[in-house]
Amino acid sequence: MQINCIIAAKMKCWEYSAKLFGSYYTLFIVIVVYLIFFNGAMSLTWSSPVLVKLSKTEGNPLGHPLTEVQSDLVGSLLFIGAAIGPLLFMRSADIFGRKKTIILLSMPAIAGYCFIIFASRVEMLYIGRILIGLSIGSLSSVVSAYLSEVIFSPEKRGPYLAINSPSIQFGILVSNIVGSYFSLNTYNCMILIINISVVIIIAFCCPESPYYTIGKKGRDATLHILKDLDAEDIHKEVGLLEKDTKDQRQTLCDIFKNKSNFKPFFMATTLLLLQQFSGINILIAYSQQIFLKSKEFLSVENSSIIVSIIQVLSTLAITVTSKRFSRKSLLTVSLFGSGFFDLMLGLYFYFEDKLQEFCWIPLISLMLFVFIYDSGLDALPWVYVGEIYPQHMKYVGPALTTSFYWISLYALSIAFSRFHVSYLFFTYSLCCFSGVIFVKFQITETKDKTLREIQETLNA
């Protein structure tokens, strides 16, 4: 009886949120759930301000500076956890439901920050970073799929899913500011509190996915949810949901056995790999050196502020441009522009000794790269991950895709310290130009299409 009362109270709460936000309720769900990406961005950026402080004795909770090997482990163990997480929990969304899975998968990150806050030994930092990685990796494969299932308007799905990009950039900005100017304990406690707050809001203010309730709780429960989402004809949608969810759930091996399964996997995975092999991470990692080389043209402080402003504005712009232009057009322009500025940076650093009077080239190239990258390549690959898979592969497919994504991040972080920066930029430029050809001939346009229409196009 007590459990039923609690469940009823939760139902009333998310229904109250739906009434409060009215026609903007779906947008509210997207913003709240994408706070998970905000948290993930803070965790990814965590090592940048924290490892600097842990390399000193003063203010170090461990009582001694970290060695170079220990610093590398603290920074990279998150990627290992993130690569394992999606595969480890890929069935949980079908077993427990999408909403409960998001809540459950947030718990390792909360536990991880508890380990970090109370860390007195470096091993506690290792455990904390692995746990945080498990959460980030597994949630990155579930969140986009869940949101694509609660956004029923094809016109809104692209702009709404593109909100992931400003969420990430804002998380990076907040993390760098708080991590640089506040104590380690304050910084870690703030991230922990935000994580807990997001879980509570999702638990009480967001609905379960109709794609889950139609199979587990039937038509009535699904209609009850659909009435508060942006579905035009809820009775028609229920009928379509029943057809879309009747197929048997498949395994990882089935991705490679069936063309209709492999095609979306190939498209989504390649787009995410192109995102990383555009060079975005090396540019961010190398930005301080670029600012220093350009300090006669513009101060380091002003350069950082300008780049941060460009990132925020360009990621906000994608939510507007995704309404006006096709996905393929935005990806093509973003890949070509990123490749061009990678080439400029590669040439500059290759002939650096002969180009001292052109110290403004790397800074301008970096700023323009950030703008053109954020205008398409940052957000749209995740949009495709959320909408391109058939319903019976909705969580198995993204799990493998995001695992490859996190493995590539780990590999690129290793390559950064082992190869000359100019050769890396040349490689990234080649990858971007190759990506333009890939988008032209291999990517299916999904703008303004329902999830069912996307599958019909893929299987045509």
pLDDT digits (tens, 9 = 90+) for 358-404: 777 888 888 899 889 988 999 999 999 999 999 888 889 999 999 99
Q: Look at the chain and report how many structural domains it folds into.
A: 2
Q: Do 291 and 426 sit in the same domain of this protein?
A: yes
Task: Tell me the backbone φ, ψ of residue 118, rounded to 5 degrees.
Answer: -100, 15
Boundary of a domain, candidates 190, 206, 222 = 206
pTM: 0.86
Domain assignment present for residue 215? The answer is no
| Separation in Å, CA 79 to CA 184, 306, 412 | 21, 29, 11
Q: Do 19 and 162 sit in the same domain of this protein?
A: yes
Answer yes or no: are the C-beta atoms of 287 and 367 closer than 8 Å. no
Domain assignment present for residue 94? The answer is yes
Whether residue 237 has pLDDT greater than 80: yes
**What CATH code is carried by the domain that includes residue 406?**
1.20.1250.20
pLDDT digits (tens, 9 = 90+) for 60-83: 888 888 888 888 888 889 999 999
Q: Do 200 and 330 sit in the same domain of this protein?
A: no
Domain assignment present for residue 373? The answer is yes
Domain assignment present for residue 451? The answer is yes
Whether residue 7 has pLDDT greater than 50: no
Question: Running DSSP on this structure, what letter comes out for residue 251?
Answer: -
Q: Do 168 and 283 sit in the same domain of this protein?
A: no
Q: Do 422 and 289 sit in the same domain of this protein?
A: yes
Q: Do 257 and 158 sit in the same domain of this protein?
A: no
Going by C-beta distance under 8 Å and a sequence separation of 6 or more, which residues neighbour residue 124? 115, 116, 118
Q: Do 311 and 166 sit in the same domain of this protein?
A: no
Range of the domain at 300: 252-458
Structure tokens, 112: 């991880």
Domain assignment present for residue 75? The answer is yes
